[in-house]
């Protein structure tokens, strides 16, 4: 893959009330703002605001991966134990491979902030050449999950899940993603590192 290929990110906010216009969606704007700070390589997004309906979620994920060609798809909302929370079920239904480490780490990070994080059913999965991750619905929780846990002096004590995303995208055939280390430092083994482009 070319190091100049643009990362295409699908952002899916899953909320009955936001989809109906009862209140303004906060998940997609929070993610767009975070990527603007976190990524130093080229990227763009495809966004979808949909209701908590499994068939709709499955169709949206398939569209973003198979037809739009997203390399990474992030969902927000619908990951709890309530009957309407079907985002993980839809993700697993369209997955080729499950990536359990992402769900485990998202819960571990969130448990540093709220004890109810243990109720989350967030999953990570691969469909074709795309990574799909279920994120929380609240902007603060989204940022914490992606960036990790920081000490009072700002040093990272628990890595966020995004640290592992660029190398995962490498391994499934996507573009080379570079990050702003002050926001999130991508981990790659030395053999997978590429030299930084000259300014």
CB 65 within 8 A of CB 126: no
Instruction: Report the pLDDT value the prediction gives residue 162, as an integer from 0 to 100.
Output: 98
Instruction: Report the pLDDT value the prediction gives residue 182, as an integer from 0 to 100.
Output: 93
According to CATH, what is the number of the domain 7-192?
3.40.980.10
Enumerate the domain spans of the chain.
7-192
How many alpha carbons fall within 13 Å on the CB side of residue 114? 14
- Mention every residue, 6+ apart, whose C-beta is less than 8 A from residue 120: 79, 80, 106, 107, 110, 136
CA distance 118 to 36: 30
Q: Residue 34: in which H helix or E strand, if any?
A: helix 27-38
CB 134 within 8 A of CB 122: yes
State the CB neighbour count (10 A cutoff) for residue 44. 9
Q: Enter the pTM of the model.
A: 0.94
In the chain (199 residues long), the average pLDDT of successive 10-residue segments reads: 77 87 88 97 97 96 98 96 96 98 97 95 98 95 94 91 98 97 95 80
- In the numeric block, the tokens 């979620």 are attached to 57
Question: Beta strand 7-14 with 72-76: parallel, antiparallel or unpaired?
Answer: parallel
Instruction: Report the pLDDT value the prediction gives residue 2, as an integer from 0 to 100.
Output: 46
Name the nearest CA neighbour of 186 among 194, 177, 195: 177
Instruction: Report the pLDDT value the prediction gives residue 1, as an integer from 0 to 100.
Output: 44
Query: Helix, strand or coil for residue 53?
Result: coil
Instruction: Report the pLDDT value the prediction gives residue 195, as an integer from 0 to 100.
Output: 86
CB 69 within 8 A of CB 111: no
């Amino acid at each position: 893959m070319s190091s100049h290929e643009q990362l295409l990110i699908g952002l899916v906010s899953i909320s009955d009330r936001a989809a109906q216009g009862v209140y303004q969606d906060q998940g997609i704007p929070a993610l767009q703002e975070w990527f603007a700070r976190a990524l130093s390589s080229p990227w763009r997004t495809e966004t979808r605001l949909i209701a908590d309906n499994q068939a709709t979620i499955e169709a949206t994920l398939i569209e973003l991966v198979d037809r739009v060609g997203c390399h990474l798809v992030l969902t927000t909302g619908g990951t709890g134990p309530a009957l309407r929370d079907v985002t993980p079920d839809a993700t697993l239904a369209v997955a080729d491979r499950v990536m359990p480490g992402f769900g485990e780490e998202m819960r571990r990070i969130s448990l540093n902030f709220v004890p109810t994080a243990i109720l989350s059913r967030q999953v990570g999965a691969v469909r074709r050449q795309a990574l799909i991750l279920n994120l929380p619905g609240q902007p603060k929780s989204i940022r914490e999950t992606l960036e990790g846990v920081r000490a009072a002096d700002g040093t990272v004590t628990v890595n966020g899940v995004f640290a592992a995303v660029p190398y995962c995208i490498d391994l499934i055939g996507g573009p080379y993603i570079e990050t702003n280390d002050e926001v999130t430092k991508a981990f790659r083994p030395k053999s997978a590192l590429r030299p930084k482009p000259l300014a």
